[in-house]
Each structure stands twice: as C-alpha cells, then as structure tokens.
Structure 1
Amino acid sequence: LPPLPLPPAVGPLRELPHLRRRRTSPHLYLSSTSPSAPVAIETFPEFPAIAAASSPSSFSVLIKARAPPLSTLRRHDGRAALDLVAVLDVSNSMTGRKLALLKHAVGFVIRRLSPSDRLAIVAFSNTTNRVLALRLMSDAGRAEAADAINSLVTSGGTDIAGGLSAGIRILKERRFRNPVASIILLSDGIDTMDGFSLAGRLQSSRRTRDFLQRLPPSARSVGPIHTFGFGANHDPTIMDAVAEATGGTFSFVEEEAAVSDAFAACLAGLLSVVAQYLHLTICSASPGVHLTSVGTGNYSSRISDQRLMEVIEVGDMYAEEEKFVLLDVTVPIKEDKNDPSMQLISVYCSYVDPLTQDIIHVEEERTIVRRPDSLSPEDEIANLIVDGQRNRILVAEMSIAEAQAKADGGDLKGAKAVLDARRGGTSSFLSLFSWVEFFRSLVDKMC
C-alpha cells in the first residue's frame, strides 16, 4: 500500500510510515475527505478556557477516535474476510476436561466463520504440528477443520514459541491475503523450552525479552496476536508481552468453562473490523503551541524535531471501539486581543476501509479554547473525561510497575493479584470489550 498523504507540512515529517501489506489488492482508490466518514474524532480540552495572560507549560487534551456500529456500514454485502490461525497448547497439562473444552471452543469458532473466511490450526507440545493449513470455511472446509480438532491428543511439554512461530509463518507465507488477519494463542502452562522458566521463573524481564527474540521478525507485521492464558498455571508475563508487542489483547481465562466465551468475545471483534492501518496526525494549530507529552500507549509513533506534529499508528479498529490518546501541550500568552479564542491542535485521521480498500480521510478536528482576560468559576472546572482518563493511565502504570516487580521476584501469584485488582473484577477474563465497558461505566459514575 502507498503512504497516506499528510496535512500541510509543519515540520520535517513529510509522509506517514509505509503501510504494511496484508493483502494482494489490485487497486486502491483515494476517497475525498467526507464529514460522514465512519470513524469519528473528538477532542476534549482539560479546561474550557485559559486566561489570556497565562502560559501553562502543560495543558492536557484528550483525543478520542470512535468506530461506528457495524450495522451502519452495510453498504456492501457481508464484511471483511478473515484469515485466522489458532495456535493451541496440547501438552500433557491439557489432558482431559481442558482439551475437551478447547475442542468445543474451537468448534464454535469454526461454526461462526463464513465461507469467505479461512482458518488454520497449529497444535504444539514440545513439538509443533500444523494440523490444518489455511482452508476456506466452506462446508468441506468446516468438516476438515472439525476432523482436525477432533484428532488432537495431548503429549509432551510446552514449546509456546515454537507453536507461535509456526502460526506466524502461515500468515507470512500466504499468496492471497484476506483483508483481516489474526492469530489466537491458547496455553495453560509455562514454555518448558525456556531455561529461565525451568530455573524458577525468575528474571522475568530478561526471560520475556529472550522469548520475543525467539519469534520470527514478521511477528509484529502479520496481524494482532490475541493470547489466552488458560487456568491458574499459565505464564501471564509472556502472554501479555506477545499481545502487547503485536497489538492484540491478553485474556486470562480463570474458569475452564469460560474458554468458549473468551473466544467468542475475541472473534466478535475480528469479524467486525471497520478500519485498518488507522493513523492519527496531531499538529500544532497556533504559534507557541508545542506537543510536550503524548500518551500513545503501545502504538508506534514519531514526532517532529520541533514538537509541532506527531504521527501515531493506531492500527485496526472494531465496530464501536474507542481509542484514546492523551497529550500535553504548551500554551503561549495570548497576544491577539481581538481574538477571544485560540486553536491548540488539529487532528487528522486516515485509514483503509477493509471492504473496499479505499483510503478514507476524516475531516479535520480542531481543539479550541477561550482566552478571556479573567476566568469565571465555570472556566476552572476540569473536564471529567480528561481527568478520568489521566487517572486511569496513572493507576495502570503503577499497577503494571508493581506487578512487574513482583513477577521479577518470582511472585507470580502476587503479580496476578495486582493485575486482577486493576481490572476491577469486571469479568473472569480480560478483553478489549470488557475494558472499554469498564471505562465507560467509570466515566458515567464520575459524571
């Protein structure tokens, strides 16, 4: 795919990073900017006004991108087709009820896929077996996939990196590529091919780094890897690291019977991708406004040397999904007495429509604050949405740091307890959708 065009240059950046190709598409058509573009962009300043004589060095603005419901996008029959690889742990620890529940859960996935979707299955223990190459889920393909799942038996140890590498190669080596691609990885144990794991699971940071280095370089480009830790004895550090590095989600399936629900929630997202390769471009909109801190989370980003523009690679968005970016800017003293307001930033959004492969440009969104000579009491009331998002980030960062320290010291149960407390007990597993709903409920309560 070609690079997406940028708004008028405000710094040394001239183009977006090249998009990673996922499909052999014969043509791309540039669509004009449209106010009815399906992804909506909103911005929320920390306060509605800044005194004209004030020059804050850190003023927060929250950017929100929201994808529309899937029902509003039915301008074509169907949806974007999916290439899915299931990488499944069949080590000895999966014997009995666990394997039966796994087969049932994958059977649900098989039934939900359409004839235009493709599925591959990789089973791993201490060895790796590609039990099903990518197959269209026609009636014949479903029958073949069901036979492959029913043939699974348990044996041996646990080579998570080996199984995952095989799944990554399947997506990397495709000749034809469906628009949406992903891997789901399920394991109930520790990678026994890892010397650090066998030595007591210590040195968690180094072990995680070494594990990621064992994966093919294409791991970060074939699509998100959604990981599922099955039961209490899985390795949450490794599973979370894989999901974070690839733009996927990590789900802790504490109750064995919940594995089907976990797969269903993940599949619902994969079957409702409405935007791909989404980029946010944030630009200073007035002289003296500089981007001082941009909370991009796990997204790749780059900023101009003058800190006047930042480009953030968000990736894919599911129907009704929300993405948040919190940034701080400097604000200069108001010089123009004739203008009672000031534009702080402009936000541009571009992405690829997975159905048509058109490049969509969302209408520019600007953040404007008033600059009165003196502030009213209402002007000094902070936006609760911005404040809530900042607090969530702070709590998350503290929780992750605390959990990492416990994991590095060998206290995996303590690390898990910290993360469970952070998740607020909203469900028995962590997923993208449960976290969004938790945040929404938090904002509602605060408001």
Structure 2
Amino acid sequence: MLRGVAAIHKEPIMYETIDRKTDWKMPDAHLPDFLAARVDRYYRERVQETWNGGHIMKGRSPGPDALHLSSNDYLSIARHPEILEAMGTSIRSEGNGMLMSGIFLHGECPQLELEERFARFMHSEASVLCQSGYAANTGLIQSIASPETPVYADMMAHMSLWEGIRSAGAKAIAFSHNDVDHLERQIRRHGPGVIVVDSIYSTNGSLCPLTEVVDIGTATGCVLVVDESHSLGTHGPGGAGLVVELGLTDRVHFRTASLAKAFAGRAGLISCSRRFQEYFKFESLPAIFSSTLLPYEVAALDTTVRVIEKEGWRRTRVAANAQFLRTRLSSLGYNLNGSGSQIIALESGTEQRTIELRDALESHGIFGSVFCAPATAKNRALIRLSINASLTDIQIERIADVCGAIRERVDLGNWPSTRRMQRDPQAADDLSVVKRAA
C-alpha cells in the first residue's frame, strides 16, 4: 500500500486544556464510615498520590485535527448511511417496542430472526443475543460451570470471563498468556473443565494460538469458549471471525462477542448448538433478568451484518493500516508485546509514565485509550491505539512520526517493556506475529 509523506509539526499542536483537579479531600457526610473509608482511599492513593490530583483518563480536549484512536469502531461503520436509515425507520415505526425479558419471545420475532441470521453468519447451528458482551460472557460461564468445575483462563482473558467464573462459584485456574504448555500442565493437574480465551486480546492486540489451544482442549475433554469480540467482523471470510478462518467451528463449543466493537452496536452474542440455545435462555441469570434488545438495535444489527459481509474492503484496509503501523513502531524500538491485530499497545509501565505518554501523544493530536489497573497488571499501564479503516495513509504516517519524535520525551529506553525486549528479543519480538497476521 502506498504511503504519503507527512512531516511532523515542529511545535506541539495546542488544544484547550480543562482543569480537571479533583477536590478529593471533601468528605461525603452521607456515607457510613466503612464505605467512606473505601472512597477516601481511592482519592488518596490514586487521585492524589499517583495522579497528583489529576486523572489518568482525563487529559487534553481534542482539537478539530485530532486523530481519535480510542474507538472500537474498527471498520468505521458507526455512521454508515444504510445502518442509520434502518435505525431511523425502526424508531419511527416501532418506537422502543415492548419492554420485557427475552424469555417471553417466541414465534415470528425480529430478535429471534436476527439470532438465526447471526448463526448463519458465524457458521454456527444457533446463536443467542444478549444485552452486552459482558452479559454474554458472565451468563455463559455461569450456565456451564459449577463449583466442581475447573475453569482454565488465560491471564489476559477479558474481565467478564473472570466475573463469569466468580458468578458460577467455579474454580479459576489461570495459565500464562498464550502459553499452551502451561495450559496443558494445568489441565493434567486439575482435570477436564472449561477453557476460556480471547481470539484477540483487547489489552495488547495479541492473537491467541487457537489451533494449539483447541488441540489441547479436545485431547483432554474440555469445553472450549472463545471470546471473538475483537475478531468478529474484522477477521475471517466475510468477517466471520478467526475460529471460522482457522476451520475450528466444529471443535469450539461456544464463541462469544461484544457487538460494540466492529459491529458498532450495543449487544452481546453467543454461538452454540440449538439445544443449548434453549437451555441458556432459561438458565442464564443475565438472560432471564434483563430485557430484550430494542427494535431499532435489532434493525441496525441486521443491516450491519449485510454491510460487513459485502464491504470487504473495510477489513482489508484496517488490516493494512495496522500492519504498516506495527512495523513502523517496532522499527522505532517500541515493544508491541506480540500485537498481530488492529489493537496496538504502547506499554509505558507505571501510571505516572503513562500520564506522560498520554500528554506527549495528545500534544501532537494523537488520542488513544489509557489502560491501567484493573484492566492491566499493576505497573503495566499502557496507551492502546485502536486502528480503523477510515485512517488515511498520511494519518498513519503522522501517528508513526509522532511516536518517533516523542521517544526521548517519554524516556522510551527505560520503559520496563523496552528492557524486557532488550533482555529477550525473541520473547518480545512481534514481527513474526505481524507477518502471520498480514
């Protein structure tokens, strides 16, 4: 792909800065002591001592030329005219519909028809629509695991999967990130159970070695759950995801996804067998005690599936943009921790360093997402750059140029992630992953 040449601004782009200092010392007289102490600890330890009275999530206000790399709208379809038209038509004709739990749905019904549509899209026998990806994951684990069930979770699996394990009262057994040997040792020690992984990990964009994980799960009699939130729509034939791309649909029992990523909507999804579909709707607590999707959400998602299937250029574009930027950032000395996707993480380490990185990027009009505890391990905070299909060649060049220009300002050479890469280049090297994902 041809790349334009974009010179970095000699002086930082200035944006309006809002004073976001918090009066953290003001007590809340209405709270009992045990809760007031917990709230006070947050303001004292994080806001005052770690963030110096500011807030790690609240930096500059973006200007008109800012590049927003915090959205999960990877395919740039949030304002697609066909989707907006479907939403508008539904709102005008149906309003918000009938508000009730999904357990009451039967017969000819748009939401049930959409579940059939998603099943075909994912090459699955059936699917279930949930209120969110979080509800899908917590509800699924709660309905398949019990206190006697070991659940093997990648250490970087999404928090909703961990919450599902807790909700089920199951035994959580972690294994090192993408370490299939460690996974196998854990299963041999504790016995068959449930394996939960992400196909693409949302924190750093690394790809799960799905084929190897599935081989181990099959050999040991485990149930396999793959969260495809960050690969559904962006990967696989027609956007059907990495499980389909790798030919693993008949060996993975459940796939889940948040439709607030590439589908730019607000819902969750589970692929499953038809028999399990019925069981889930009457066993999962989030399914029983939450309302259905609204009619305009169903109409929008139905149209979104068609858009994603037919506009394959969006997947091609986001993949090319991400590949180019990953290669450039690696050459600049950034440790991308195995990113092989549209998610690129700059792991600065402590929260103080991450605030410095945030400010350096934002001073040049680059706005990413801050990830810190509990979304990351302590002292492994980072800025996540979410690449999308609408970024132009010149804009991608601008991101790379800015990251090159700020290296000294952010003390890149002394980041813990940089030192890890220098100690063990093979372990931190992402280029093989980049080539595999291209």
Q: Which has the higher strand share?
A: 1
- Which has the larger Rg? 1
**Range class of TM-score, shorter chain:** under 0.3
Q: Which has the higher helix share?
A: 2
TM-score normalised per structure 2: 0.21
TM-score normalised per structure 1: 0.21
